[in-house]
Structure 1
Amino acid sequence: MVGFGRAASGLVIATVLAYFYAVRIALGDGNPFDYFGYFTNQTSLLASLILIATGVLVVLGRSVPPALTLVRGIITAYLLVVAVIYNLLVPGTGSAPPWVSALLHLVFPLLVALDWLLVGDRPRLPWRRLWMLLPYPVLWLTTVLIRGVTDGWVPYGFLLPERGIASLIVHIVGLLAAIIAAGALVWAASRSPGLNVRAAELSPHRALSAPFRQRSRSPGSDHPPVYISMAISSPDAAHASDSSCTALIHSADPIPVVPMAPRSTIGATSFSAAVTE
């Protein structure tokens, strides 16, 4: 359900953004640099694409690449800032219908944040990569300020050049500080266990071994949890020479292998689990 939920929510947001962009085109205001110049629209579109990608991977029972999870964490931090700034500092502004503003500035950021906090299928984000929150908003701010000077368009009033250098510096520093603070919360939340939904998302033939899974993570490691499972079968379990063992392990950490309770089958003893990251 988690994979389907992510993909569906991402598809809904992408559809809403595309629909209202089409409406603007019909009204003769189809400049994409204006519509997607808003930080809310940009980050919501990026978040929707990431949710669709990660949702499809989970549905297919595949591991989500760590780089994609890192980007999801970064986008989660951006959406937290979008929600806080809009609802506390500039509520009710903008030309979008009220339900669209509520969807993009409250409902969607809340769902993305709860997904990150409650679903434990993400690794611990390393603190040394917290700086990766900054390049995108710095590039966005630079582009917006250049446009403000050249053609007078800015998405938000507090970025108007005529407000003076001091005002711009205060707002820019405040925005970047808010992004770092939100990122620190997201990084810290990645260390919470959350709900282990991995077994529920497995395809049926792999889910049979889910009850026999063992979870391993070295203390203090930034690597994601590793699920180890082995399949051992033989006509006579007492003869090791007749046993076959298959295992696939994805981890940089040493993995202790813990024998599971045996399952009896006709003429064979099998120990089963699955090994996924």
Structure 2
Amino acid sequence: MKFTVAALRFAFSALMLAAVTRSFVYDATHGGDVWPWDWFGYFTNQNNLAAGFVLSLAGILLLTGRRLRWLEYARGAVTVYIFIVGTVYWTLLAASMPPEIPWTNNVVHGVIPAYCLLDWLLIGDRAPLRFWKLWVIFPYAVVWLGVTLTRGATDHWVPYPFMDPATGYGSVSLYCGAIVVIAVVVALVFWAASRFRGILLRDSADHVEAEPAREHRRDDGLAA
């Protein structure tokens, strides 16, 4: 079963990379903005690439029988981010930002978020996440939000219409605040779900839970 799970992780990571690459090539050949500071500034692009990285690394570790505790927290955080990517797109942006390449749009806003969610909920090769470490979802999100709002106020580039200062900072604050609240609620649910042993690779939970002593000796800042 571990070979099947690893293969799925590699396959969806490859699908994501194909979709992101196709989108970049399309923009580059059709007069789109492919300046890296702009193109890779999109939360969607960043977090699809992050999802591909953590899924691929999780697949490799699964095959080699190794475990990195920090990766479990990274997977939890990225699962929150990519869930937000899908939720925000389909609720706020889909109607106002019709896709130029529908299949790439469906992959990065639908298929990858859905797979990451199922991978987290159903596959048991992760230990329960500590609730007091919920803070790990914030550093990246705060930096991204700070940089994006600063750019909106200075060079007037924003990745999404609801973040445009021209709509008023009250509106921007309302949307961003709502997304932060949703992210915290989603993170709490995903952290709680990590206590479920999953349907696939359930035996991995026994292996994970048998290692607390070794983890406490490891000064990695994210020991369980």
Fold match (TM-score > 0.5): yes
* TM-superposed deviation, 1:49: 1.0
- Give the letter for the 1:63 counterpart: R
Q: Distance in 2 between matches of 1:129 and 1:51?
A: 21
Q: Determine helix, strand or coil for the equivalent of 2:116.
A: helix
- Cα distance, 1:137 vs. partner? 1.3
Question: Cα distance, 1:251 vs. partner?
Answer: 3.5
Question: C-alpha displacement at 1:65, in angstroms?
Answer: 0.2
Deviation of the 1:24 alpha carbon: 2.2
Name the Cα RMSD after superposition.
2.1
What does residue range 227-266 of structure 1 map to in structure 2 within 5 Å? 250-252=211-213
Q: Does 1:225 align with 2:209?
A: yes
Separation in structure 1 between the aligned mates of residue 75 and residue 176 of structure 2, nearest angstrom: 23
> Is the 1:8–1:52 Cα contact (8 Å) retained in structure 2?
no
Residue type of the alignment partner of 1:161? P
2:11 counterpart residue number = 8
> Aligned pair count?
209
Structure that is richer in helix per residue: 2
- Indicate the percent of aligned positions where both proteins have the same amino acid: 33
Q: Distance in 1 between matches of 2:195 and 2:55?
A: 20
- The gaps in structure 2 that reach 5 residues or longer are 215-224
Q: Post-superposition shift, 1:89?
A: 2.3
- Which residue is equivalent to 1:69? 72
SS in 2 for 1:124: coil
Counterpart residue type for residue 252 of structure 1:
A
Which structure has more relative contact order (CA 8 Å, sep 6+)? It is: 2
- Alignment partner, residue 204 of structure 1: none
Shift of 1:94: 4.9
Specify which structure has the higher proportion of strand.
1
Residues 7 and 151 from structure 1, CA distance in 2 versus in 1: closer, same or farther, beyond 3 angstroms?
A: same
Q: Which of 39, 44, 56 is 2:43 aligned to?
A: 39
- Aligned pair in 2 of structure 1 residues 49, 85: CA closer, same or farther (>3 Å)? same
Partner residue of 2:89 out of 86, 91, 96: 86
Q: 2:28 aligns with which of 18, 21, 25?
A: 25
2:218 equivalent in structure 1:
none
Matched, 1:170 2:170: no
Structure-2 residue corresponding to 1:129: 133
Matched residue, 1:208: none
User: TM-score scaled to structure 1, two decimals?
Assistant: 0.70
Residue in 2 that maps onto 1:246 = none
Code of the aligned partner of 2:209: P
The alpha-carbon deviation at position 144 of structure 1 amounts to: 1.0
Q: Which amino acid aligns with 2:18?
A: T
Tell me which structure has the larger Cα radius of gyration: 1
